[in-house]
Chain A
Amino acid sequence: MRWRNAWIVMRKDLDEFKKQKLVIGSIIAMPIVLGVIMPLALFVPLITTTPVTTSWDVPGLLEIGTLPENANPPWTNQSLTNLSLSSAVIQHTVLTNVRLSNCIIFACAIKNSTISNSTIRESNLTRSFLSNTTLIHSEGTGLDGRFILAVQSNLAFTKTKPSELALVLPMIFNLILMIFIVVPATLPTIIATYSIVGEKNNRSLEPLLATPTTDGELLAGKIFSSFIPSMGSTLLAFVLGVVLLDFVLIPRVGYPLLPNLIWILAILLIAPTACLMSVLACVLVSSKVSDVRAAQQLGGFVVMPVVVLMLGVLSGLLLLSPLTVIVFAGLYGSIDLGLFYFARAIFNRESILTKWT
């Protein structure tokens, strides 16, 4: 393979591509509209109106009040650490890292403990988990739990559950990220399907095939000339999208959330391999049909593996993690390699020139 020849084919194709203003417009506009404008229009109202934090809202909590000023638990020097107690009465004790169930706890300091089916009175709690527990005249910070039965309590919890924004953002981020993967897989159907069949229709393929350029060089050139504009416009939209999303989010969360590791890996690994897969399939189809429209219609099928990933992620069946991204990039990369060798094996100058159906 003489890369110089592939480079010449690519430059020639890009030179021709540069003259097609409408195609350039659609190549640039599509990722910006789908990956930037639409998500911003749809999600910015949601992001800006979703509360960053919410008050404690444990199901089953009947009443929340404040600790009366005279509530001052009498502390002792007794302390229990790393214990598991059941059906006990504990008072005036410092409890650290203990598991208590079915206990009556009075005037204790409790830290890093798990308490269930118990009653706690006039105590001070820190970083503990409570379940089916009644709290009376106690206070706590960093608490978590469920079914807290504070039927007689004046209680102040300082910990909040995770913000709704934090719950919503990963879903939005995944959706936008999927757009940045589907778009580069879709764009080549505009350019790459034209690459060979278009030249054939313009009758410029015959003199090109008569040059000493090999099949592999010709295919490589055609692949790069479709890959570069597709990925270029996707990266442009990606950068724009990241900047604008951060611009919207920083006032809400205080720091830039994007691009995170998954986004960086996805745009550097999955998007290019998905784009290449689409380019290869389109070039392959383009060398086998004699009509640009047929090539575009068949080329549309090549986005299927990317749609599978998108549906998997959006339905929650696939959890997007750095490992998932690397695995999918590897899978797409392997498909790319197979497609390239297959395209080169079935590339036939004679049938391209002589078959018109």
Chain B
Amino acid sequence: MIICDCLTKSFGAITAIKDFSVEIPDGCIFGLLGPNGAGKTTTMRMLSCLIQPTAGKALIDTYEIGKKEDAQKIRGMIGLLPEVPGLYETLGAYKNLDYYAQFYGVPKQKREQSIKETLMSLDLWDRRTEPVGGFSKGMKQKIAIARALIHDPKYIFLDEPTASLDPAASKMVREYILELKAQGDTIFLNTHNLSEAERICDTVALVKNRVVKVGNPKELARGLFARTVSFTLDKIPPTILHDISSLEVVSQARLNDRQLLVNVRRPEEDNPLIISWLMNQGVSVQFVTEEEHSLEDVYLKLLEEGGR
């Protein structure tokens, strides 16, 4: 489990992140979202024991970040994919992975087998000795992800893991992250890719130098936006907007072609009432769907509010 309690980091007069408090249970995918300069990388670096917090406290398992005696233990438990792959460009993929496996003390036989399996799954086994400097961005990113996972860490910190990957490779990485979660690993993900976060994260935190909101992506949307139900009608009476607004359960209504979009509090209870009212007006309801707000909507709204 990762517990952060008022974690703060300042560089001189500039506060990169302030009072970052979250609890990330084991086996969870946690997404950290925020604009550039919001303090995401700084937070990840603090949790990877690369930089010291200015204030606050964080525990990974039972080890406290910032404590010198715990730093080695924490570093041994985590796998880090930084913003930039940072591979040894003149060395081959095999050696890049092999040296890191050695740093983490992976036994030779296991290391050889693991590297072979990884490179074969990445379709790079035949090119294992080629200098990675000649590889595409996507390939480098894949190798860097493999490097972060080579020692089978319990906690995985990924900073923009799909940033330079094509859609197919991004999908592969997302599926891999879900596999890791299924194995019980805890994943801390920094991302700008909101649809990705929405798809794979159990919990997200929106930050802008402080935590703006933490929660499940869907719950965040529900908490922020009224629920909107779309009724597709066979015809649109000219006064329907005015008339429907008189219903108590309707807080707002608008039209989009033949769709009547109605904001309600509890669609489960309110939809039958609205359908019945529409039928009484002589209008047939062809489809009823609930409009969902994307994480992007949540992100933009929260950051807009948080920025004020």
Contacts and interface: CB of A to CB of B under 8 A. Distances in A.
Interface string B67-111: 000001001101011101111111100010001101111000000
B51 interface: yes
Max chain A C-beta neighbours (<10 A), residue from B11, B81, B86, B100 = B86
Given A15-B91, A16-B91, A349-B50, A211 B104 contact: yes
A220 B90 CA distance: 22
B50 A211 contact: no
25 contacts: A5-B103, A8-B103, A12-B88, A15-B91, A15-B95, A202-B86, A202-B88, A203-B84, A204-B86, A204-B88, A206-B80, A207-B80, A207-B144, A207-B147, A208-B103, A210-B48, A210-B49, A210-B50, A210-B80, A212-B103, A212-B105, A213-B103, A214-B72, A350-B50, A350-B52
A203 B103 contact: no
B7 interface: no
A354 interface: yes
A19 B102 CA distance: 21
Given A202-B86, A211-B100, A350 B95 contact: no
A20 interface: yes
A8 B101 CA distance: 10
B88 A211 contact: no
A202 B89 CA distance: 9
- Chain A binding surface SS class: helix
B103 A206 contact: no
B181 interface: no
Interface residues of A, number: 25
A16 B78 CA distance: 26
A205 interface: yes
Place the interface of chain B in its size category.
20 to 34
A49 to B, nearest CB: 49
Given A20-B90, A207-B80, 12 more contacts: A8-B102, A12-B91, A12-B95, A16-B88, A202-B88, A203-B86, A204-B87, A206-B80, A207-B100, A210-B48, A353-B50, A353-B51
Contacts, number: 76
B213 interface: no
Contacts of A202: 86, 88-89
Interface in B165-206: none
B99 A12 contact: yes
B82 A206 contact: yes
A348 to B, nearest CB: 9
B215 interface: no
Given A19-B131, A206-B50, A212 B75 contact: yes
A209 interface: yes
Contacts of B48: 210
7 nearest CB pairs, A to B: A19-B90, A211-B103, A204-B86, A203-B84, A203-B86, A210-B80, A350-B51
A8 B52 CA distance: 26
Given A8-B103, A16-B88, A210 B78 contact: yes
Given A207-B147, A212-B72, A16 B90 contact: yes
Max chain A C-beta neighbours (<10 A), residue from B80, B82, B89, B144 = B82
Contacts of B87: 204
Contact of B50 (A16, A204, A209, A214): A209
A206 B86 contact: yes
Nearest to A8: B102
A259 to B, nearest CB: 37
A12 B131 CA distance: 14
B45 interface: yes
A19 B88 CA distance: 11
